[in-house]
Amino acid sequence: MNGQTPVQVEDGELALLTDLYQLTMLQAYWKEEMHERATFSLYFRKLPPTRRFMLACGQQHAAALASRVRFSAYSLKQLSETGRFDEAFLHWLAGFRFSGDIWALPEGTPVFQNEPFLEVDAPIAEAQLLESLIMNLVQLETVLASKAVRIVMAARGRPVVDFGLRRMHGVDAAVRGVRAYRTAGLAGTSNVLGGLRHGLPLSGTMAHSYVLAHDDERDSFRSFARHYPGTTLLVDTHDTLEGVRKIIELMEEEPGLGISAIRLDSGDLGILAHRARALLDEAGLDTIGIIASSGLDEHQIEALIADDTPIDAFGVGTQMGVSADAPVIDLSYKLVEYAGIPRVKHSTGKINLPGRKQLFRRRDADGTYLGDIIARREESIDGAVPLLVPLVCEGRVDQEHMAGAERARERVAQALTQLPADLRRLDPGETDYPVELSPALQRLQSELSLAPLKRKRPRER
Amino acid sequence: MNGQTPVQVEDGELALLTDLYQLTMLQAYWKEEMHERATFSLYFRKLPPTRRFMLACGQQHAAALASRVRFSAYSLKQLSETGRFDEAFLHWLAGFRFSGDIWALPEGTPVFQNEPFLEVDAPIAEAQLLESLIMNLVQLETVLASKAVRIVMAARGRPVVDFGLRRMHGVDAAVRGVRAYRTAGLAGTSNVLGGLRHGLPLSGTMAHSYVLAHDDERDSFRSFARHYPGTTLLVDTHDTLEGVRKIIELMEEEPGLGISAIRLDSGDLGILAHRARALLDEAGLDTIGIIASSGLDEHQIEALIADDTPIDAFGVGTQMGVSADAPVIDLSYKLVEYAGIPRVKHSTGKINLPGRKQLFRRRDADGTYLGDIIARREESIDGAVPLLVPLVCEGRVDQEHMAGAERARERVAQALTQLPADLRRLDPGETDYPVELSPALQRLQSELSLAPLKRKRPRER
């Protein structure tokens, strides 16, 4: 430990949140006086097998940070000490400002394979430097929101609360993940700092340790309920149904105790919820709800609800906190244009789409998605809506398009009513949602693949 | 966006990196005047199916932050505004300091199911509040180091470099992950801030975008090699073997160009590495090495090496960056003692070990691990070494035991020579590494399970 605050990244260090090769390439561009504008496009080539769509999230955070990237004097000193950089180049970096444009899908937009969900147009050094940071930021929120929305769908209107702080990958993921969860439609979070920062209601019950620290479980229930009228009590520390019976006894002794719910956190949740519900109902305590947690994912929740299990709300941590079945998407951030000339990598047989682009979505009269068209940026397509909007213009964040988490949440809620039914299924499987290329983009692509850019130069050069 | 620096957590906010229920339990303990010492024990119940051991990491970071947790005036104001807390309680929180002890395994120690790898002894409120933060911090480094060490083992002495910044979950994971990678034995990282903070050498080559931004691939190679003598060139932007041939031509034209390696980043790495090696060797360029990247994990690396593929170093990102096959371990942080009385949760049929504990490891004359014994804290066991050491004593970090990343790295390197061969295999599978309970701990456990702590109180209380 070096005394530094280890969970802190100062603004002046943001520029170092990059891969070394970005900086060595920057120095090479600088030496070669390559300062023309470039466009980089962010997309993924295929959906994870367990996802039928992704929710594009994190673009606002990426745009906001991009506009603030600076090299502090201390950062430049550290770079100098690596021995890899010329002092004149470091002096040039000292004046680094992002002066370009960032176009992106609005947060919470469903997105599919090969679709540009963010494009950076800027002098090449600026767009190159930001690659690593933008990818890191966008991937995190996109992966977490895309998992969380599946759990929201599985719960069919029952509230879902985030319990994931302890399982998520570090402090930034845990705190900023709450923003992705708000976008995805969660009802609350146990994460205090995350909830306070990102405006998701705080939620919490009690832990087994509280029960164990008391000599008697019933005493612990009574004390907690007296402290917190309307609380939820955790009943599975010793024996779940015994725990429920103790609550029923307590309510008989002290009917004024406000207990709004019990929480089940282990065992066979289906069986225990049915039995607990029956015990509570027999005792006339039908106003006491049941909250379930315990390693739940969307498939378990879907199965519990299909069985009419009387669970009123879900607490979800581990599986959602790291998007365990798809913790990563294979995002690409590719140079697609430089100095006004569309460019593309050819080698792999994969689809690489040249040039600045726009994404269009066609819908029917009810708003249901019919299909997407990837087009060149300046195109317009009859009957389809362009989705990419400018988040940053000439280095300045466009406040109109930085609409905030609540607008993104509304967008997701609406999207869930407009996605074709096939895409809302939770089981793995291919979908036939059409993602096409506009004729103009197809023409550009085939021109480049027939005659890849290779202006042969004489060898002696 | 609210103008806050989104990747920053101030010291005064560390206390809010907790779950809401910790704070409501703290208020309940405070109201009930429950201020006795408690012990919480951190362990996992089973290894992920794809792991044969975990490397315990992150304890130093957790201990350092624990000793610094404070509630700032602003944090207390935010808590007050939730309406859940009494002002007198918040006033008490303003004086919060961690005054307890934290015992932990030294970082880089291999750890198995049910083994206590960190125990907190403190007044119950202090130990309870820190649960969420400690679990988050320890899990991150443990998960990442445990994945990374498998990749190091697979590479059999060839250098492995971290390329994961863009794929990791947020900024904290990416930066602090580098510390876990240093512990695990990686040779370098592309992550500039992570490498600078945590003392792992920076490493980097070039990206496809650099090649594409030039009109001609060979020009781009020449320029980059002139800028950076001894560099690595990425050869797969258009056609991998064509790329290799261009380098051979370049070296014929300009023999002084210092090119130390080529990088392959797509396609069939086995075939391409053999062919590239043959081309280079035929041209007398046997000093030019081959670096491979492209979604590699330990199994692919193991297979490449088993086929004698001529690859000299590996760059690894996606799979290692999120520990994709085991992104989470099911850590528990359980109350095991309060007010001098060992306690344990009974309900689930799982193993829960009461009381303050110590972990002993037996070795043969060569140091090879023979098996572990979980014991009570005060025990000593003939022929076995106690592993848990005090990292924090009465709230102060013990500098002797905060040995730093380099010592942890040496510990891992040594452990890899001392783990039984069965545990060093990379395929999934059960191991029969013995983890036993000492007779004294077994006695305590059976006393508690025969007579669980239930001092019946009169109902009217």
CATH code of the domain covering residue A207: 3.20.20.70
Return the pLDDT at A361: 98
**Residues of B (306-345) whose Cβ lies below 8 Å from A:** 318, 321-324, 327-328, 330-331, 333-335, 338, 343-345
Residue-number span of the structural domain to which A48 is assigned: 11-144+326-450
User: What average pLDDT does this structure show over A32-53?
Assistant: 97
Same domain assignment for residues A184 and A300: yes
Same domain assignment for residues B127 and B190: no
Residue A399, Cβ neighbours under 10 Å: how many?
A: 10
Q: What type of residue sits at position B207? A: A
Same domain assignment for residues A20 and A99: yes
Task: Count the domains in chain B.
Answer: 2
Q: Residue A459 pLDDT more than 60? A: no
Identify the CA nearest to B211 among candidates B222, B198, B196, B226.
B222
Q: B84-108 as b/e, with b when 16 or more CB fall inside 10 Å?
A: ebeeebbeebeebebebbbbbbbbb
Return the pLDDT at A348: 57
Which of B321, B350, B367 corresponds to the end of one domain?
A: B321
A209 to B28: CB separation less than 8 angstroms, yes or no = no
3-state secondary structure at position B354: coil
Closest residue to B135, CB basis, from A2, A8, A166: A166
Same domain assignment for residues B36 and B132: yes
Q: A207-218 as b/e, with b when 16 or more CB fall inside 10 Å?
A: bbbbbbbbbbbb
B205: which 2 tokens? 């080559």
Q: Among A20-24, A231-235, A367-371, B5-9, where is mean pLDDT lowest?
A: B5-9
Return the pLDDT at A449: 76
Q: Is the ipTM of this complex over 0.90?
A: yes
A328 to B330: CB separation less than 8 angstroms, yes or no = no
Q: Are B124 and B40 in contact (CB under 8 A)?
A: no
Residues paired with B9 in a beta bridge: none
Same domain assignment for residues B230 and B280: yes
d(CA B171, CA A140): 9
Side-by-side strand order, sheet with B289-292: B188-189, B160-162, B313-316, B289-292, B259-264, B231-234
- B232 in contact with A, Cβ within 8 Å: no
- Contacting residues of A for B406, CB less than 8 Å apart: none
**Domain containing B390 — which CATH number?**
3.20.140.10
Q: What contacts A458, CB < 8 A, 6 or more positions away?
A: none
Does some domain include residue B67?
yes
Identify the CA nearest to A33 among candidates B227, B62, B164.
B227
Interface test with B, best of A36, A167, A183, A460 (most B CBs within 10 A): A167
d(CA B175, CA B197): 8
Using CA atoms, how far residue B450 sits from A156, A295, B344, B397, B445, in Å, is 43, 29, 12, 39, 9
- Per-residue pLDDT tens over the stretch A164-220: 999 999 999 999 999 999 999 999 999 999 999 999 999 998 999 999 999 999 999
A253 to B208: CB separation less than 8 angstroms, yes or no = no
Same domain assignment for residues B190 and B317: yes
d(CA B216, CA A454): 6
Same domain assignment for residues B187 and B317: yes
Q: What contacts B174, CB < 8 A, 6 or more positions away?
A: A17, A136, B164, B165, B168, B191, B194, B321
Question: Among the residues of A107-130, which ranges form H helices?
Answer: 124-129
DSSP state of B106: P
d(CA B359, CA B104): 10
Q: Among A189-198, A367-376, A417-426, B395-404, where is mean pLDDT lowest?
A: B395-404
d(CA A341, CA B215): 10
d(CA A196, CA A178): 10
B210 to A28: CB separation less than 8 angstroms, yes or no = yes
Same domain assignment for residues B380 and B425: yes
Identify the CA nearest to B431 among candidates B443, B419, B440.
B419
A38 to B457: CB separation less than 8 angstroms, yes or no = no
> Rounded to 5 degrees, what are φ and ψ at B16?
-85, -5
Q: Are B236 and B276 in contact (CB under 8 A)?
A: no
Same domain assignment for residues B346 and B415: yes
Using CA atoms, how far residue B375 sits from B115, B378, B437, in Å, is 10, 8, 6
Exposed, middle or buried by CB within 10 Å (0-12, 13-18, 19+), for A382? exposed
Q: Are B331 and B44 in contact (CB under 8 A)?
A: yes
3-state secondary structure at position A338: strand
Side-by-side strand order, sheet with B101-104: B341-342, B331-338, B37-44, B118-123, B101-104, B389-393, B396-397
Does some domain include residue A365?
yes
Does some domain include residue A459?
no
Same domain assignment for residues B429 and B299: no
* Sign of the torsion formed by the C-alpha atoms of A341, A342, A345 and A349: negative
In A, minimum Cα distance to B191 occurs at A19
Identify the CA nearest to A375 among candidates A430, A440, A281.
A440
Identify the CA nearest to A202 among candidates B87, B26, B22.
B22
3-state secondary structure at position A87: helix
Residues paired with A232 in a beta bridge: A261
Confidence of residue A402 (pLDDT cuts 50, 70, 90): confident
A215 to B453: CB separation less than 8 angstroms, yes or no = yes
d(CA B231, CA B221): 10
Closest residue to B454, CB basis, from A131, A137, A216: A216
**Residues of B (359-378) whose Cβ lies below 8 Å from A:** none
> Rounded to 5 degrees, what are φ and ψ at B46?
-150, 155
Task: Name residue, tokens 């859940």.
Answer: B84
A82: which 2 tokens? 């690596």
Does some domain include residue B460?
no
- Contacting residues of A for B213, CB less than 8 Å apart: 29, 34, 38, 124, 335, 338, 343
Return the pLDDT at B399: 85
In A, minimum Cα distance to B205 occurs at A21
Q: Residue A455 pLDDT more than 60? A: no
Chain A closest-CA separation from residue B275 CA (Å) = 16
Q: Give the CA-trace dihedral at A49, A51, A53, A55, to 10 degrees.
A: -130
Does some domain include residue A5?
no
Max Cα-Cα span within chain B: 97
Task: Name residue, tokens 């779950």.
Answer: B19
Q: Residue A409 pLDDT more than 80? A: yes
Return the pLDDT at B454: 45
Which of A321, A353, A382 corresponds to the end of one domain?
A: A321
Residue B10 φ/ψ region, left for φ over 0, alpha for ψ in the -120 to 50 degree band, beta for the rest:
beta
Exposed, middle or buried by CB within 10 Å (0-12, 13-18, 19+), for B204? buried
3-state secondary structure at position A118: strand
Does some domain include residue A216?
yes
Which of B321, B343, B378 corresponds to the end of one domain?
A: B321
Identify the CA nearest to A352 among candidates A252, A218, A207, A452.
A452
Q: B358-376 as b/e, with b when 16 or more CB fall inside 10 Å?
A: bbbbbeeeeeebebbbbbb
pTM of the model: 0.96
Q: How far apart are the first and last CA of chain B?
A: 51
HSE-up (13 A, CA, CB side) for residue B419: 25
Q: Are A378 and A439 in contact (CB under 8 A)?
A: no
Return the pLDDT at A6: 52
Low-confidence ranges of chain B (pLDDT < 50): 1-5, 453-461
Residues paired with B373 in a beta bridge: B360, B436
Same domain assignment for residues B180 and B247: yes
Using CA atoms, how far residue A255 sits from B293, B363, B409, in Å, is 66, 61, 60
Q: What type of residue sits at position A364? A: D
Identify the CA nearest to B195 among candidates A277, A446, A82, A91.
A82
Does some domain include residue A241?
yes
In B, minimum Cα distance to A36 occurs at B213
Using CA atoms, how far residue A98 sits from A72, A128, A393, B213, in Å, is 15, 11, 10, 19
Residues paired with A191 in a beta bridge: B19
DSSP state of A106: P
Return the pLDDT at B287: 96
- Contacting residues of B for A334, CB less than 8 Å apart: 208-209
Same domain assignment for residues A54 and A193: no
A386: which 2 tokens? 């362009």
In A, minimum Cα distance to B405 occurs at A1
Confidence of residue A451 (pLDDT cuts 50, 70, 90): low
Return the pLDDT at A401: 80
DSSP state of B100: S
Cα angle vertex B181, ends A12, B162, to 5°? 70
Q: Are B324 and A328 in contact (CB under 8 A)?
A: yes
Cα angle vertex A141, ends A136, A144, to 5°? 120
A16 to B193: CB separation less than 8 angstroms, yes or no = yes
Does some domain include residue A4?
no
Q: Are A326 and A50 in contact (CB under 8 A)?
A: yes
